[in-house]
Structure 1
Amino acid sequence: MVLLHGKLVIAGDMTVGKTAICHVAANDANAFPKSYNCTNMADLVPKQIRVPDSDDTVEFFLIDSAGNSIYLDSLRDIWVTMDMYCIVYDITNRNSFKNCGMWLEQLSQSRGDHNVFGVLIGNKKDKENYRVVSTQEGKQLATSRKLEFFECSAKDNKGIAEIFKYLASEFVGRYRKRIKTLEKMGRDNY
């Protein structure tokens, strides 16, 4: 059994649903936030996720980042120690999708190493009739950036659990791989 702590940054434009995703995940979807204030800089939301088919658990520290560009310089200081990230866009807002590249660049500038991994999330699947960004476009962007892709509806709590289960499994898998590498190095040098 392993208990790991991971810092997970949630980034994207304003009003794409980052806070709603964090709220639904942290509260096991007992209550979707009917109203909330815009996030100023960043909010910290803790959440434990049990890794499927194991006794391992990851305690996420969700960093719900403001979508307003005036906070970018300060956010970089917060993001520097992240372990993983989620880039969120609204499937009914093409500009939020176009800006995903900018958010990825900002995260990369904050944490340039390659040990950080992430996912791309298309939110607001409950508004399918207003969709302007196709699932295929989301998948293509994710593939081109070596990210996993998910679509969800924070409002209906559809697809949220799968995102966090994937992140927890991947985080533990990477941890175990690093441990094996270090053990091998120890044996080879002993």
Structure 2
Amino acid sequence: MVLLHGKLVVVGDMTVGKTAICHVAGNEATAYPKTYNCTNLADLVLKQIRVPDSDDTVEFFLFDSSGNSVYLDALRDVWVTMDMYCIVYDVTNRSSFKNCAMWLEQLSQSRGDHNIFGVLVGNKIDKENHRVVSTQEGKQLATSRKMGFFECSAKDNKGIGEIFKYLASEFVTRYRTRIRTLEKMARDNY
């Protein structure tokens, strides 16, 4: 059994639903936020996920980052120690999808470490009649950037759990790989 702590940075344009996703995840969907204030800089939400088919648990420190560009310089200081990221876009807003590349670049500049991983999340699938970004477009972007891909509705609590189960599983897998690598290095040096 392993208990790991991981810093998950959640980014994306304003009003794509980052705060709603974090709130629903952190509160086990007991209450969807009908109203909330725009996030200033970053809010912290804690969430524990048991890795499917194991006794391992990951405690996420979710940093819900503001989508306001005014805070970018300060956010880079928050992002520098991230273990993983979640880039969110609104499936009814093409501009928020196009800006995902910019968010990925901002995260890369902050961390400068290619060992981190992340997911691309299309939110607001409950508004299917207003969709302008297809599932295929999201999958293509995620695949080209070597990210996991998910679609969800924070409003209806659809797909949220799958995102965090994936991130937890991947985080534990990477941890175990690092441990094996270090053990091998130790054996080889003796």
TM-score by length of 2: 1.00
Whole-Å Cα distance in 1 between the matches of residues 186 and 28 of structure 2?
42
Q: Which residue of 1 aligns with 2:176?
A: 176
How many residue pairs align between the two structures? Answer: 190
TM-score by length of 1: 1.00
Q: Which residue of 2 aligns with 1:129?
A: 129
Q: Which residue of 1 aligns with 2:103?
A: 103
Q: Which runs of 4+ in 1 moved over 4 A?
A: none
Whole-Å Cα distance in 2 between the matches of residues 161 and 155 of structure 1?
13
Q: CA deviation at 1:114?
A: 1.2
SS at 1:48 equivalent: strand
Q: Which residue of 2 aligns with 1:157?
A: 157
Q: Which runs of 5+ in 1 are unaligned?
A: none
Q: Which residue of 2 aligns with 1:86?
A: 86
Q: Which amino acid aligns with 1:110?
A: S
Q: Which residue of 2 aligns with 1:119?
A: 119
Q: Which residue of 2 aligns with 1:52?
A: 52
Q: Percent identity?
A: 85
SS at 2:53 equivalent: coil
Whole-Å Cα distance in 2 between the matches of residues 125 and 48 of structure 1?
25
State whether structure 2 residue 11 is matched by structure 1 residue 11: yes
Q: Which residue of 1 aligns with 2:33?
A: 33
Q: Which amino acid aligns with 1:88?
A: V
Q: Which runs of 5+ in 2 are unaligned?
A: none
Q: Which amino acid aligns with 1:187?
A: R
Whole-Å Cα distance in 2 between the matches of residues 113 and 76 of structure 1?
13
User: How big is each residue's C-alpha offset from its partner over 1:65-93, in whole Å with a ceiling of 9 and x where there is no partner?
Assistant: 00000000000000000000000000000
User: How big is each residue's C-alpha offset from its partner over 1:134-166, in whole Å with a ceiling of 9 and x where there is no partner?
Assistant: 000000000111101000000000000000000
Q: Which residue of 1 aligns with 2:68?
A: 68
